[in-house]
A and B are shown apart, each in its own frame.
Chain A
């Protein structure tokens, strides 16, 4: 018999030779029940959020706040992730937060360029009602699933803009990593519970694009998706692929969901 003809029978014998452990019926039913409950509330479960990115938002938004407040912000995102059926990493240690905060500094464009290891391309094509700009640099907090530890990562730059109506929005520039997994299409945040005690989660659209060795990330909070797209076009940015590309609910507004 030729080797080609023997492949199916040999493979069959090999796989049948593997001894399975006893069937974990309880665990399987438990998983089925828990996923069913969250799927009923959220049809787009494949999205996930990165605790490190959320931590970064806290650090930038409240550079001089206490580590307890930053941990509180991060905990809200972690709660959102868990409510969606995701698996959150461990809480960020206070020492890491303190270290990130101590290294978070305001900067000029030139100063920011000198602190990063990529060619910083500043945003252009901003909404016309932008009245103020702030630039900050800070290292990112990174959780490694391999070492199960938080570490201080490379420096990124956050451009924060204030609009005439008082809203603010951020654009985050960091070094492009070709090995990085695609980011999620949405970010989730846990709000205070609804009047009946049900958890509430808000979904924000996230857009990511590349300019040379820079990756720019924008979250549709304080800015619309169309306005973000205008910035990307003006910067000649290349949109990066994202996970969770669902057609439903992909509008420009953030959407609030109440979980049962």
Chain B
């Protein structure tokens, strides 16, 4: 799980303003990256990540299991992103659509990003919670308030799309004009 924080910091953040700030600073990049991965809109993702961090600040005093902070905060971040996606206008301006702030070092990451774009918001959330945050289907089901069977179905569809994106291209399946661009 990428968000591994010192439990002492989490405990101190319940009553110490400076520790709370340090916690937010540590959580923020994760919250933003996950929101962008799900929403694919940097502006909306920033707003959603802010909302998620505010929710974490609000709910932290009531968190019973400090050791479960990472999974708990991932649930908050993902739910904030899903909520933001539902409130998003159906028609977006061209400036907000696209991949601003998401440039990748490898072609594999680009392929994956493109494959994620073809999934629904909830499927992307399931993928992020499973493969990135390391939650199992039961934990994801609790996080997004869906049956475990639905989560497993989303994962199956998502896995199929991601597997395709990461598979090496078989030249025999390519159209002939791509293999031999000079032949028409």
How many chain B residues touch A (CB < 8 A): the figure is 44
Contact B108 A23 (CB under 8 A): no
Within 8 A of A (CB), among B26-78: 28-29, 32-34, 36-37, 46, 49-51, 53-55, 57-58
Nearest first, the 4 closest Cβ-Cβ pairs linking A and B are: A31-B54, A146-B91, A20-B29, A20-B32
Given known pairs A11-B127, A25-B21, A31-B50, the reply for A17 and B159 (CB within 8 Å) is no
**Cα distance, A240 to B11, chains bound together (Å):** 45
B89 within 8 A of A: yes
Contact B163 A29 (CB under 8 A): no
A4, closest chain B residue (CB): B163
Residues on A with beta carbons closer than 8 Å to the beta carbon of B108: 6, 10, 13
Contact B58 A35 (CB under 8 A): yes
A132 within 8 A of B: no
CB distance from B3 to the nearest CB of A (A): 11
Contact A32 B58 (CB under 8 A): yes
Given known pairs A21-B46, A28-B54, A32-B58, the reply for A3 and B109 (CB within 8 Å) is no
User: SS class of chain B's interface: helix, strand, loop or mixed?
Assistant: helix
Q: How many A-B residue pairs have CB under 8 A?
A: 103
CB distance from A107 to the nearest CB of B (A): 33
CB distance from B100 to the nearest CB of A (A): 11
A-B contact pairs, 27 of them (CB 8 A): A3-B162, A3-B164, A3-B166, A6-B108, A7-B166, A10-B112, A10-B162, A12-B132, A15-B132, A16-B2, A16-B33, A17-B103, A18-B33, A18-B36, A19-B101, A20-B49, A27-B50, A28-B24, A28-B57, A31-B54, A32-B54, A35-B54, A35-B55, A35-B58, A36-B58, A145-B89, A146-B89
Given known pairs A21-B46, A23-B25, the reply for A10 and B109 (CB within 8 Å) is yes
**Cα distance, A14 to B112, chains bound together (Å):** 8
**Cα distance, A14 to B2, chains bound together (Å):** 13
Residues on A with beta carbons closer than 8 Å to the beta carbon of B162: 3, 7, 10-11
Given known pairs A21-B46, A35-B58, the reply for A8 and B131 (CB within 8 Å) is yes
Residues on A with beta carbons closer than 8 Å to the beta carbon of B128: 11, 15
Residues on B with beta carbons closer than 8 Å to the beta carbon of A10: 108-109, 112, 162, 166
CB distance from A146 to the nearest CB of B (A): 4
B110, closest chain A residue (CB): A14
**Cα distance, A17 to B29, chains bound together (Å):** 11
A43 within 8 A of B: no
A197 within 8 A of B: no
**Cα distance, A29 to B23, chains bound together (Å):** 12
Give the residue of B49, B109, B127, B163 whose beta carbon is less than 8 angstroms from that of A13. B109
Chain B 108-119 interface 0/1 with A at a Cβ cutoff of 8 Å (1 = within):
110011000000
**Cα distance, A25 to B28, chains bound together (Å):** 9
Give the residue of A4, A13, A25 whose beta carbon is less than 8 angstroms from that of B159. A4
CB distance from B33 to the nearest CB of A (A): 4
A24 within 8 A of B: yes
Chain A 25-53 interface 0/1 with B at a Cβ cutoff of 8 Å (1 = within):
10111011001100100000000000000
B167 within 8 A of A: yes
Given known pairs A17-B109, A146-B89, the reply for A3 and B163 (CB within 8 Å) is yes
B91, closest chain A residue (CB): A146
Residues on B with beta carbons closer than 8 Å to the beta carbon of A8: 131-132
Residues on A with beta carbons closer than 8 Å to the beta carbon of B159: 4, 7
**Cα distance, A210 to B86, chains bound together (Å):** 24
Contact B28 A20 (CB under 8 A): yes
Residues on A with beta carbons closer than 8 Å to the beta carbon of B166: 3, 6-7, 10
B145 within 8 A of A: no
Residues on B with beta carbons closer than 8 Å to the beta carbon of A13: 105-106, 108-109
Contact B24 A23 (CB under 8 A): yes
Q: A25, A28, A36: which has the most chain B beta carbons within 10 Å?
A: A28
Contact A18 B163 (CB under 8 A): no
Residues on A with beta carbons closer than 8 Å to the beta carbon of B163: 3-4, 7
Given known pairs A17-B105, A18-B101, A28-B50, the reply for A12 and B2 (CB within 8 Å) is yes
